Amino acid sequence: MSGIADVARLAGVSKSTASRALTGGGYVSDSTRRRVADAAESLGYVPSTSAVSLATGRTRTIALIVPKVNRWYFGSIVEGVERTLIPLGYDVTLYVAEPGSDDRETLYSTYLARKRFDGIIAAALEPDDADLERLANIGKPVVSIGNPLTGVPTLGLDNVAITRNITEHLIALGHTDIAFVGSTPSTDAPAKDVDERSIGYRNTMNDHGLAVRIRSVPATLTITDAYAAAVSFLADTATRPTGVVAACDEVAIGVIIAARRMGISVPTELSVVGIDGHDYAEMFSLTTVEQFPEAQGVEATRLLLSMIEGTSQPPWRTPAETRLVVRASTAPPRPV
Amino acid sequence: MSGIADVARLAGVSKSTASRALTGGGYVSDSTRRRVADAAESLGYVPSTSAVSLATGRTRTIALIVPKVNRWYFGSIVEGVERTLIPLGYDVTLYVAEPGSDDRETLYSTYLARKRFDGIIAAALEPDDADLERLANIGKPVVSIGNPLTGVPTLGLDNVAITRNITEHLIALGHTDIAFVGSTPSTDAPAKDVDERSIGYRNTMNDHGLAVRIRSVPATLTITDAYAAAVSFLADTATRPTGVVAACDEVAIGVIIAARRMGISVPTELSVVGIDGHDYAEMFSLTTVEQFPEAQGVEATRLLLSMIEGTSQPPWRTPAETRLVVRASTAPPRPV
DNA sequence: ATCCTGTCAGGAACCGATTCCAGGCAACCG
DNA sequence: CGGTTGCCTGGAATCGGTTCCTGACAGGAT
């Protein structure tokens, strides 16, 4: 429990000199710098973070906001952020709150207001206008992953292009009866990734004069949700599509598991394509557009740190890397 | 950016009275208390956490240490802890570091030494003796989830009893050729859940005079790891067991997916039983022993808070709830 | 010899709260 | 009526650092 005063006393210098020696600011001769360092070492001195924060205004903490932890995409982001920040000695305070939950209000009224961080990384945050203003008012740098927030540098995918790409992939294989499994955007202004993906699919189908069919699954987009939905919408052979564009890999996998269970052969009777590059994609031979959320977490952290240091203002929108991987879940439709 | 001095000035009282009025300690008349509260409200006063921490020695932060986020068990724990702490205004600083990683040393040397929290929840921490001493030396309450640490209240399962239970279940169905899919404990002193589970299986097999067969999968115990391992060990029909006790549900699911893929019928040709009650268990009709990691996160948080408040010293070992759920992944072996 | 400049170190103010201590005042008791 | 007690408030110290400001000193330039 020794403080900097103890270190200073042991080294035979003043508090201010000890502080300068340890933090590296201002003039200190090499010999005293070493004496102070030795004293700190031998006392096992660890600076009090609250005192440092109070004096400097910096917390060496970044806030990470995610709607959920227990999904591959968000879990990967968390791991990417952690991996980058731990070696730098930064703390990560995690805030888990789904849009619309009670915790969401607490987020803005308590957690963000408290400003116990130097910057914020927000994944899939869906703030309304009032929230966005509160976010801007706290005066700390913010980086968004996933959906673009006005005035906030965002790292994300070009979702419309991606679903266009994979829808074209199915069409090129000869499919005409293609469903999008996800959700219908509530408004024309897409607020979420899923909305953009739905729109990319819809536009492509329209361009080709093909019928748009949307199968809804709950917004959580988990494998189990998609499985349950697929068990019901695959049952009717009359309305069953030959191709499925899934909102994400977890939905795609849920559909595949349901199909297998119902004896529907993938890809012979049903082609499925996802988006994510989920850990399980290869195991299910899933054709998918890979993205790399852990790398996105790393990249978002770098962007945020550069804003905190004030060295640079990142671009308003940074595209994240993707890659189409064709596996064995897509094939031409069986001739009628 | 107004401080308590501004609030005091606006309310026409001293800093000390304002502080007492807002924190609720000591004598303050109702009328001034209200005046101060109004002043704070109208200024949008938010106390500086670093100043509060410095003065009180309390951080209103708890540290959560997990080896990984992107696994159902750990993700659930994180969500349970978050759910409990957010309404209380506590911050959660998350530390993700696998045993043996570089980050693990940083954990002890930097993160824990800094003491920027009031208590610690550690899931599946595997400290060596030196680590354990460092943990004790920081002088903050600790609760462990999963594996018992000496001197630390632990919330966990009776793993030996659980695997005994499910091994008996398979034996009662008529199986004699039962493999444990997980790992062999490195020492006789079990350090991890998996070790205990392995031992429970082994003892039960020995008691019945049956041969012990262990199939190893990497320590990460993911679905994909288990899938890959199962694809190889299920291939040889001569050595293929009729029953599998999986170290956890993710391993069990990996085995089931591999079996389906290889045309091995579950449960007719292969019975599989897991441990966890994973989100996917029902989808795969998996017989399993359910546990509730999110509830464990909640419970561990409660224990820790009671230690922080000093109200009570929790018992050395608290058993977590479990429940055997028999589904359609287990059946009597096919008669030869 | 004087002046300036660069290096080094210490004293004291400061960050923004909490809390100890002392004192004023009214009410109640003996 | 003096003394004790309880309620209420303000001043000042404190938590543990950082940083501004001042000054001492040595060396080089004028």
- pTM (2 d.p.): 0.95
**Cβ B24 to strand C below 7 Å:** no
Q: Report chain A residues whose CB lies below 8 A from the CB of B68.
A: 79
Mean pLDDT of B186-193: 72
If we measure between CA atoms, which residue out of B207, B219, B137 comes closest to residue B182?
B219
How far CA A25 is from CA of A14, A18, A43, A112, A150, in Å, comes to: 15, 10, 22, 31, 38
The dihedrals phi and psi of A163, each to the nearest 5 degrees, come to: -70, -30
Q: How far is B55 from chain A (nearest CA, A)?
A: 9
Residue B65 near residue B123, CB atoms below 8 Å = yes
Q: Which residue has the tokens 């020492």?
A: B187
> How far does CA B210 lie from the centroid of its chain?
33
The dihedrals phi and psi of A229, each to the nearest 5 degrees, come to: -65, -45
- Residue A25: the pLDDT is 80
**CA-CA distance, A75 to B228, in Å (whole number)?**
22
Q: How far is B203 from chain A (nearest CA, A)?
A: 34
Q: How far is B56 from chain A (nearest CA, A)?
A: 11
**CA-CA distance, B53 to B55, in Å (whole number)?**
5
Task: Decide: helix, strand or coil at residue A296.
Answer: helix
Give the confidence band of B203 by pLDDT, cuts at 50, 70, 90.
very high
Q: Report chain A residues whose CB lies below 8 A from the CB of B98.
A: none
Q: Which residues pair with A96 in a beta bridge?
A: A66
Mean pLDDT (chain B) is 94
**Cβ A206 to strand C below 7 Å:** no
- Residue B187: the pLDDT is 66
To the nearest 10°, report the CA torsion of A156, A160, A166, A167: 160
Query: Which tokens hold the place of A123?
Result: 């994944």
3-class DSSP string for A19-46: HHHHHCCCCCCHHHHHHHHHHHHHHCCC
**CA-CA distance, A40 to A43, in Å (whole number)?**
5
- Residue A135: the pLDDT is 94
Does residue B191 register a pLDDT over 90? no
**CA-CA distance, A152 to A78, in Å (whole number)?**
20
The dihedrals phi and psi of B31, each to the nearest 5 degrees, come to: -65, -45
* pLDDT tens, residue by residue, B213-249: 999 999 989 999 999 999 999 999 999 999 999 999 9
* pLDDT tens, residue by residue, B86-115: 999 999 999 999 988 999 999 999 999 999
Task: Decide: helix, strand or coil at residue B243.
Answer: strand
User: Among partner residues B69, B283, B284, which is closest to A79 by beta-carbon distance?
Assistant: B69
Q: How far is A188 from chain B (nearest CA, A)?
A: 33
Angle at A328 between CA B72 and CA B246, to 5 degrees: 35
Residue A76 near residue B85, CB atoms below 8 Å = no
Q: Which residue has the tokens 């001769």?
A: A29
Angle at A157 between CA A152 and CA A158, to 5 degrees: 105
**CA-CA distance, A126 to A135, in Å (whole number)?**
12
Q: Report chain B residues whose CB lies below 8 A from the CB of A68.
A: 79
Identify the H or E element spanning A273: strand A271-276
Q: How distant is C1' of D5 from CA of A104, in Å?
A: 49
pLDDT over 70 percentage in chain B: 98
* pLDDT tens, residue by residue, B14-69: 999 999 999 988 899 999 999 999 999 999 999 999 999 999 999 999 999 999 99
Query: Which tokens hold the place of A205?
Result: 């189908």
Provide CB contacts within 8 A for A100, sequence distance 6+.
none
Residue A181 near residue A245, CB atoms below 8 Å = yes
**CA-CA distance, A66 to A101, in Å (whole number)?**
12
Does residue B186 register a pLDDT over 80? no
Measuring from the CA of residue B55 to each C1' atom, give the nucleotide at the shortest distance.
Answer: D15
* pLDDT tens, residue by residue, B154-184: 999 999 999 999 999 999 999 999 999 998 7
Farthest-apart Cα atoms in chain B, separation:
91
**CA-CA distance, B325 to B249, in Å (whole number)?**
12
Contact B78 A94 (CB under 8 A): yes
3-class DSSP string for A121-150: EEECCCCCHHHHHHHHHCCCCEEEECCCEC
Residues with CB under 7 A from strand D: A 1, 3-5, 15-16, 19-20, 22-23, 25-26, 45-48, 51-52, 54-56; B 12-17, 20, 26-32, 51, 54-55
Residue B10 near residue B42, CB atoms below 8 Å = yes
Within 10 Å of residue B151's Cβ, how many Cβ atoms?
Answer: 13
DSSP codes of every residue in A144-212:
EESS-BTTB-EEE--HHHHHHHHHHHHHHHT---EEEEE---SSSS--SHHHHHHHHHHHHHHHTTPPP
Alpha carbons within 13 angstroms on the beta-carbon side of residue B291 total: 24
Mean pLDDT of B109-124: 96
Task: Decide: helix, strand or coil at residue B242.
Answer: coil
DSSP codes of every residue in B181-206:
EE---SSSS--SHHHHHHHHHHHHHH
Task: Decide: helix, strand or coil at residue B78.
Answer: helix
**CA-CA distance, B97 to B66, in Å (whole number)?**
6
pLDDT < 70 stretches in chain A: 186-190, 336
Give the confidence band of B310 by pLDDT, cuts at 50, 70, 90.
confident
Give the confidence band of B189 by pLDDT, cuts at 50, 70, 90.
low
Q: Report chain A residues whose CB lies below 8 A from the CB of B116.
A: 49-50, 91
User: Among partner residues B46, B96, B223, which is closest to A280 by beta-carbon distance?
Assistant: B223
SS3 content of chain B, % helix, strand, coil (to 5): 45, 15, 40
